[in-house]
Structure 1
Amino acid sequence: MTLKSKILFCFLLFLLVFNTHSLFAQSEKTNNIIKQLSDFYLLNKTDSIISFSDKVLENLQTKASTDSLLYVKLYQYKYTALHKKKKSIKNLASLNKGISYCPNTYTGDSLKAALYNTKAYLESELGNAMQSYKSITKSLKLLDKLPNPNPGSVMGAYLLLSNKNAYYGNFEKAKQYMRLAENIYKRNKAYLDKNTWELNGNNHRMGVILKYRKIYMFWILSKNSNDSLTLINTMKDLEKMHNKSDFHKEERIYYSSALNHIGDWFVSYKHDSLTTKKDIQLGLNYLLKTHNLVKNKNYPGTLWAIKYNIAKAYSKGNLLEKADSIMTDLFNGISETDGRLPFFYAQKALIKAKKNQKDSAIIYFNKSIQKIHSKNDSLTTYYTNFKPSKSYNHTRLLLRINEELNNYYPTDTIVQQKISKLYYLALQQFENSYLNINFNKQQNRQLRKIIKGILNSKKTGFLDDYQHQKTILNKFEILKNQLAWKKFYESRYTNTLPELDSVNQRNTVLASLLSKAKIRKNIPQRDSIQRLIQKHDSYKKKQFPQLELLSNFEFSIENLQKKLTSKDVILKYILLENEIAIYQISKSSFKVHLIPWTNIEAQKLSDFIYKTRNRKNTLNLGSQLGKLLIPKLDKQIDHLIINPDGILFKLPFEVLQINKKFATEDYHISYTSNLGFVNYTANKTATSKEIHIYAPSYANTTPTSNSRNKPSFLKGASNEAKNISKLFPSQLYNDSNLTKSTFIKTAGKGKILHLAMHAEVNEDFPELSRLLFSNNLENEDDHLYLEELYGLSLNAELAILSACNTGAGLDKNGNLESFQRAFTFAGVPTTVVSLWQVPDMATEQIMLFFYQNLKNGQAKSEALRNAKLSYKNKYADSKLSAPYFWAGFVVYGNDSPVFQTSYNYSAIIIIVLIIIAIAYCFTRKKFLVK
């Protein structure tokens, strides 16, 4: 168990046992049972707790209301014992049982809140981030209703929410929840500390844990000098606690760890060139202090990690002999297979580089790379035989080596040539290792660093031709798609995909068995397992035909180009540090443009999006951004396929200015969240030709909403649904009893799915976005969460989400986790979504124009473009012609027509030409005869 896991485990047990004992006493029978369990717990007799709990539960047999609290406490103690023995998802069963027995009383709700609290911490440990978030919010809702909620539970909830927001990069919210936890502790300090000592069975006080967690949070997330004072003051508070006589030996782990974290923060939070002597001195003070405590005073801590941080500090402070000496000490007694060696060699190389010992530095850098190489052979000069390891940290290390080589030897052509190769090695390493760890936002950043390095290497002349660039982009698309899938799979909220879990687990088991068979050279067993894998793959394709699309799909630029027409061009954008890469891909050409993208350009884009959404003049900004973001295009191009990135997902490219006109006036534009989805077609087709229209009436509301973001009656949506139903064979679901279950049961039969309804988009946690089927926001089961769509099997060719903002859901590291992606996975190749709260009446008119154009056989993006222009021209002389009213809807995915026109005009023209030719030949023959 790691140091971090031990700390989290101790805190989890504190919450559980604290809440068990803090509730008022029950009957004498109950008290005797609980006392027995408590005695077992204090003596650490986990097996006795489990067997005693099972025996009592068996004897109780019935779920009598008088025994309900005893049931709860039995399951609490059983969980605690099971968790002490082994952390497992199976332990959740005890918590869920306990929750089910909680009565609707003050005591019952308090216990239920405590159980949800504990459940959230376990789910967090197991990597189920969104399930953990769900459990902790349920705990807080219960606590909020209580007149005197348990302060331990409230504080634990705030600390976990701080941790969750920190994990997702929401630093401000993480700090906010940390402050709330601090306030709870200040108001209840005496009570919390007293109960910790008396009831917890260990000596981990909440105040000590709180200070440690705060320092840990800043160490992980903060890169701001303004936070240094907060860190110093928090450490001073922990120091005061440490200096008091009641600071227990068991709490030392928090103190020594906090010293190491804060010391490393002062050494590392700035770039090397910006780190000051004061930063180094402060960092060293903390690091040397914890080094002394761990080495000489028997405090818990990892001594080699502290030494490594001290060496970093000495190196940054140019105390190079001391740094070199510590690194030499770290090498003593270490084996050649030790996993720390690549990092130690790299640090040693950096020290040698700072000493101007170039040859020695390059030797140590090469030793580091050699240790990452997973084969036993020696690496060639330019690493052509490199085989990546399974460690994701090695990806980061390779990037750091590149950065240092470039920093110290920018004019050395041999080193620069190696750098260009090392970026490709980093991509290989990333590709081979990123699936072995839980999703982390750093993965996205590291991937972008690699792409930036490769593109910048092109400027040096050491990168191969465009064929090499195509290979890099192929890998980027596959990796980005799999990262998005990995993030979704690990962050599910509703947990409604058990079949998918089973498939994923069977994948892992079969792969493991095959690997073992290969190692043992057991050919019959290997053949048998491979047959099982083939059967499993067939099952996957049948049950989840879109699974390969997100989890393991193949992609190549060459195949994509073959599917394009001469009038298509793809513009793919990748946001990099201070630059943006624009890939321009047509049927016969492939270009890469690397242009500046500083805070100035980013601010212009933000202003443009804001002004567009708020009906303000944007022509000047639109012209500037049009020149910047849309490269020169060939004259025959009339269809732009946009693959945005980051904030560009919020930009309607249609309103950018090209030659003093809106882009949509010259081009029809479609979008894709991944190049692999361009012209994607699903494996299934709808059995019905009907449009299924879903327009909830939202009971007990009045038609007052002008936009589709609040759960109230939508007059325009109601008219829109009725008018669309007149154009095509349709099934209209618009009564007050329309539910999520109705949608799930019927949606699989429609050719087109039209959802004229409200949506709630959560930009902090995109997985929590949902389509609203009622105005009861509190009842989660009423609404369709974004991730629930992944579990559906739909057969429609097109889904239209005329709810507001359904194209949003931007994750802060550039992934788009929105409804359109979920519909794609569910089997719908094309979605129409909105980028902001489109006015209800404008939506109604644009949708009607759009459907009329579809009926006439137009391609989807062409039909939407013409619908927008029809609306714009209709109100040309009024304020209603502003882009705010018509530019919000965009189309993602396959662009082919949904309906074929009654007459095939191309065929008719060909037939007419043939008839004319035959008539001409016949006439000419007669003339010649004469």
Structure 2
Amino acid sequence: MRKLLTLLLVFHTFLSLSGQTKERDSILQIAEKYRSVSGAKELNNIVTKAQKGLIVKNTKDSLYAANLFLLEAESLFYSWDIPVLREKFNSAINMSPSTDEGQILKVETIISSTYMEVPIGFEMSAYTKTKEALSILENLKSEPPTDLLLSIYESLMILNSTFGDTKKQKEYRDKANKLFEKNNFDSSRMVAFYTANIMSLYETDTNESTILYYINKIRKFPNKIELPNFKYVDISASNRLTKYYYNTYKRGDKTALKKGYDIIAQTLQKYSKDKSMSYHIKEAMHLKCEFLIAENKFEDAFKINSKLISISKKNDRRFHFNLAQRMIILLGLDKVADAKELVFDTLDEFHTGQDELKNDYSNFSTRNIVDYTSLFLDISDAFNKHKKNDADVKKLVNTWNNISLNQFQKSIDNKLTTKKTKALFKRVISNLLTAHANEDDQQFYVSQLLETIENIENTIEWQEFLQQRNYSKLNVVNDFKFEEYAITNALIEARIKEEDSTISTLELQLEQLKTNFKSKNPNIIKYSFSDFKTSDFKQSLLNDEVTLRYETIKDSLYTFVISKNNIELKNLGSSKAILDLTKSYLNDIKNRIDATLKAKELYALLIPNQVEKFKHLNILPDDYLYKLPFETLINSNNNYLIENKTVLYAPYLALLKYSIKNDSLVTENNTKLMIFTPAYETAADETTDVVVRGNSYRLDGAEKESKLISELFPNTSFSDYSATKENFRRYAPDGQLLHLSMHASLNSTTPQLSHLIFTEGNTDNKLYLEELYGMNLKADMAVLSACNTGVGEFELDKGIVSLHRAFTQAGVPTTVSSLWSAPDNATQKIMVAFYKELKLGKTKAEALQLAKLNYLKTTDNPMLKTSFYWAGFVINGDNKAIMLPNSEINYWLWIALGIAAALVIILLYFRKK
């Protein structure tokens, strides 16, 4: 797959150049002849001579220099010297002039630079660069070259298909088809287009007629004589059609079985005697075995697999897959002993590490291909059926599960995160959980499992975060990753050659590279590198503090119950049943319907008994539970959860205890509280009690709230026409506390268009998520006193595109945000009480708890006591108290501490006397 993708990426990238002098044209034409592996040395010599004495004075010089840098990069490509290659590619990109011709060359260079990324697993970088190249082409003054534009569309649709993003895959496929229909292309280009469509479709759940359309286009192509590689294209397309039928069969379409067998039969009959097609013939035979295994026809599968192995050599690219398939077949035939004997040979074939594979497989290493994870899990599942009375088989199940886990961890770095990736991760965790269900040392195992989930999900979310940002500093991460890759490879070579001095130098370079990157990019490090340790987290908890981390695994909802001295894993029951009940409960809350019975039922389902003895509760939801305010759940004594416990939320455990601190950035001269209360022209039609902060009308409660809060702390207040987006961007980075009383809008179709609504001035008044992601805020806490800032209707897991997450990514460790449209008047009362408690030195969660309880106590109207009015705001992140030097509590606290210290000194003095 990856090789074919790379070939398509390079297809029609380089165009003939114009605008050079005859001498320069001649040099470039000669260089063109050496654009191959065999001509690399000659190409480098030509470019090196051409670069001597070149002085860039004008646009033509710049274009010529950019061409030379690109040619130089190509001449060095197969040296695989990553830092040098990146330097040359970047030089070509930077030297490309702003003319259309220069921008086209820039696009060619960007695409060329992705060739070194796809083969080594940096698909996310390749994808981002390809989108950048597309953006450049689409913004040219003149029409972009159709060949180049088409190849970019093809690359994007194939990449998105690989990532499992069918929506984007279809978007780019439609664009490619539209462009193809409008233009005339030569025979080779037409077949490349049909092939690209097949490659983007065969793994997806698409209409059979669509993929058959492109297959038939190739098979009935009129000018086959013009295509020397037509047989290769034809048999490749046939095998992909077979894979399509296999995937369709696995999804439940039984009619796909016969169709798959028919295609395989046609392929073998047509090409079995053609030695040049032997690789693809073996692939077709392998696919036939897969069909037979799926039907439990293991005897027939064994015969074909035996023949396949007998005609294959150990260095064949698919030999390791044949051995893995043999193992699964043997287990299907109950030949467990034979399967066990094959384990080492199979793993040895997959092993790509420099050292020989150890007998305990502890040094096993293979390519960073995420699909290998599925294969290893299939083998684990096959062994698992035979583990009942065989200790060795039990051990092998664990081995394959751990290998699957390690493979997944290695493979997700720099990959686009999709539903396919997440589903695969859930399968890994499910296998680990099932295999260890009856382990003796459950405490240790659960700790390890939690650590694994935390670190991997953190990595996955980091990838999602990068995907959401149109202007992300992705190159910062990739520059580091590429340099790390280059040094690591050099280290391997040095160790093979036993060059001790070189090893020491490279190890120092690698350590320095990591240190420099971490110091320059603390926020990036927080999200891109996962080093969470369960033992450290447990020790950081208070004695009266407990954490519930929910996780949906297969059809069940689990929760990790973590306290200072203990950790347990509880199966709470059917995830679907809990999800349905939660949805119904939230619907009742938002419609002000009595939901007491559902609140009690959810309490019984979601809150384990051992939680009762703790005072402080941390909650890490999963899936739809992100929308649920746990404070509203009712126990058997008819008390709300909030009446007995403080409640704090977080998407990850690391964000509870290891939040990024900005203490050194907050000085005495910084504004302590910064308030933004925009003006809205339209008056609300509703009465004060039912006005919500989600539409562009005036918020009387928000204005009163801001005024009362401003009386509690030293502040800078931006209200009415000074509460502009421009002022927020300019001054917010200096605030220690940020309070935003305003409207917010979430866009369910395009999450990046969700925004906070400031006063409309001369400039745009909408602050979008994308802009928040790019800010560098120093605040300890941001209070988003607006609607729906805590969760989006469009994203249920981890709230990655919600406004509160955007503040977290900008560097703010704690956010207070809303789960639904905030009622204006009730919000004002709760917020003012919240700040009063903060001023008294309460922790953030305790301050909000007391504010909500105060609202319930002081509100007389029973209708206004329903959960809708008081439970919408929740705290995410770090829970430490806000320490403002000018607050009353701090002033008297320091005096008290001073007096206490003096008394201790006096007492000690007289004791000595």
Q: Which runs of 5+ in 2 are unaligned?
A: 37-42, 79-84, 686-690, 908-913
Distance 1:781 1:804, change over 3 A: closer
The reply to whether residue 171 of structure 1 matches residue 179 of structure 2 is: no
Give the Cα separation in 2 of the matches to 1:696 and 1:162. 45
Q: Is the 8 A contact 2:659 2:877 kept in 1?
A: no
Give the Cα separation in 1 of the matches to 2:10 and 2:397. 47
Superposed CA deviations along residues 745-781 of structure 1, whole A, max 9, x for unmatched, are 6444322233445666577886786667787999899
Q: Name the structure 2 match of 1:687.
A: 667
Q: Name the structure 1 match of 2:40.
A: none
The reply to whether residue 650 of structure 1 matches residue 627 of structure 2 is: yes
**Aligned counterpart for 2:779 among listed residues 796, 806, 813:** 796
Give the Cα separation in 2 of the matches to 1:536 and 1:42. 37
Give the Cα separation in 2 of the matches to 1:78 and 1:529. 28
Q: Name the structure 2 match of 1:925.
A: none
Q: Is the 8 A contact 2:285 2:304 kept in 1?
A: yes
**Aligned counterpart for 2:189 among listed residues 183, 200, 204:** 204
Distance 1:882 1:116, change over 3 A: farther
Distance 1:317 1:748, change over 3 A: same
Distance 1:115 1:859, change over 3 A: same
Distance 1:472 1:895, change over 3 A: same
How does 1:327-406 map onto structure 2 within 5 Å?
A: 327-332=305-310, 340-365=318-343, 367-369=345-347, 376=356, 379=359, 386-393=362-369, 394-406=372-384
Give the Cα separation in 2 of the matches to 1:418 and 1:879. 60
How does 1:799-818 map onto structure 2 within 5 Å?
A: 799-808=782-791, 814=797, 816-818=799-801
Give the Cα separation in 2 of the matches to 1:215 and 1:168. 15
Give the Cα separation in 2 of the matches to 1:33 and 1:776. 57
The reply to whether residue 256 of structure 1 matches residue 235 of structure 2 is: yes
Q: Is the 8 A contact 1:131 1:494 kept in 2?
A: no
Q: Is the 8 A contact 1:836 1:888 kept in 2?
A: yes
Q: Name the structure 1 match of 2:124.
A: 127
Distance 1:859 1:821, change over 3 A: same
Deviation at 1:594, TM superposition (A): 1.9
Q: Is the 8 A contact 2:844 2:882 kept in 1?
A: yes
Deviation at 1:889, TM superposition (A): 2.3
Deviation at 1:848, TM superposition (A): 2.6
How does 1:103-502 map onto structure 2 within 5 Å?
A: 127-128=124-125, 131-132=128-129, 135=132, 138=135, 162=157, 166=161, 169-172=164-167, 174-175=169-170, 178-179=173-174, 181-182=176-177, 185=180, 188=182, 192=183, 194=184, 196-197=185-186, 203-205=188-190, 211-222=194-205, 227=206, 230-246=207-223, 249=227, 255-271=234-250, 276=254, 278-291=255-268, 302-317=280-295, 320-332=298-310, 340-365=318-343, 367-369=345-347, 376=356, 379=359, 386-393=362-369, 394-407=372-385, 409=386, 411-414=388-391, 417-418=394-395, 421-422=398-399, 425-426=402-403, 429-430=406-407, 433-434=410-411, 438-441=415-418, 442-459=420-437, 461-462=438-439, 464-488=441-465, 492-496=469-473
Give the Cα separation in 2 of the matches to 1:558 and 1:450. 23
Q: Is the 8 A contact 1:694 1:757 kept in 2?
A: no
Q: Name the structure 1 match of 2:656.
A: 678
Please state whether the residue corresponding to 1:128 is helix, strand or coil.
helix
Distance 1:119 1:377, change over 3 A: closer
> TM-score, length-normalised on structure 1?
0.76
Give the Cα separation in 2 of the matches to 1:714 and 1:118. 53
Please state whether the residue corresponding to 2:557 is helix, strand or coil.
strand
Q: Name the structure 2 match of 1:854.
A: 838
Deviation at 1:221, TM superposition (A): 3.4
Deviation at 1:593, TM superposition (A): 0.7
Q: Is the 8 A contact 2:242 2:264 kept in 1?
A: yes
Give 2:283's aligned amino acid: A
Q: How many residues are paired up?
A: 860
Please state whether the residue corresponding to 1:673 is helix, strand or coil.
coil
The reply to whether residue 9 of structure 1 matches residue 27 of structure 2 is: no
Q: Name the structure 2 match of 1:922.
A: none
Give the Cα separation in 2 of the matches to 1:164 and 1:591. 40
Q: Is the 8 A contact 2:235 2:280 kept in 1?
A: no
Please state whether the residue corresponding to 1:626 is helix, strand or coil.
helix
> TM-score, length-normalised on structure 2?
0.77
What is the aligned-residue identity percentage?
21
How does 1:462-861 map onto structure 2 within 5 Å?
A: 462=439, 464-488=441-465, 492-496=469-473, 507-508=484-485, 511-512=488-489, 514-532=491-509, 539-540=516-517, 542-546=519-523, 548-610=525-587, 612-613=589-590, 618-659=595-636, 660-680=638-658, 682-685=660-663, 686-688=666-668, 690-693=671-674, 695=676, 697=678, 720-733=705-718, 743=728, 746-756=731-741, 785=770, 788-789=773-774, 792=776, 794-808=777-791, 814=797, 816-818=799-801, 820=804, 823-824=807-808, 827-839=811-823, 842-861=826-845
**Aligned counterpart for 2:875 among listed residues 872, 888, 891:** 891
Deviation at 1:583, TM superposition (A): 0.8
Give the Cα separation in 2 of the matches to 1:120 and 1:781. 35
Deviation at 1:882, TM superposition (A): 4.2
Give 2:816's aligned amino acid: V
Give 2:338's aligned amino acid: S
Give the Cα separation in 1 of the matches to 2:267 and 2:760. 56
Superposed CA deviations along residues 53-73 of structure 1, whole A, max 9, x for unmatched, are x99x9899556xxx9xx9999
Deviation at 1:886, TM superposition (A): 3.6
Distance 1:399 1:185, change over 3 A: same
Deviation at 1:283, TM superposition (A): 1.2
Give the Cα separation in 2 of the matches to 1:767 and 1:122. 28
How does 1:33-48 map onto structure 2 within 5 Å?
A: none
Q: Is the 8 A contact 2:757 2:766 kept in 1?
A: no
Distance 1:733 1:211, change over 3 A: farther
Distance 1:184 1:80, change over 3 A: farther
Please state whether the residue corresponding to 2:364 is helix, strand or coil.
coil
Q: Is the 8 A contact 2:20 2:64 kept in 1?
A: no
Distance 1:220 1:330, change over 3 A: same
Deviation at 1:644, TM superposition (A): 1.7
Superposed CA deviations along residues 790-812 of structure 1, whole A, max 9, x for unmatched, are x73x4432222335444336997
Superposed CA deviations along residues 886-930 of structure 1, whole A, max 9, x for unmatched, are 43322112212214835569989x99xx99xx9xxxxxxxxxxxx
Superposed CA deviations along residues 156-176 of structure 1, whole A, max 9, x for unmatched, are 787666557656644345445
Q: Which runs of 5+ in 1 are unaligned?
A: 103-107, 919-930
Deviation at 1:581, TM superposition (A): 1.9
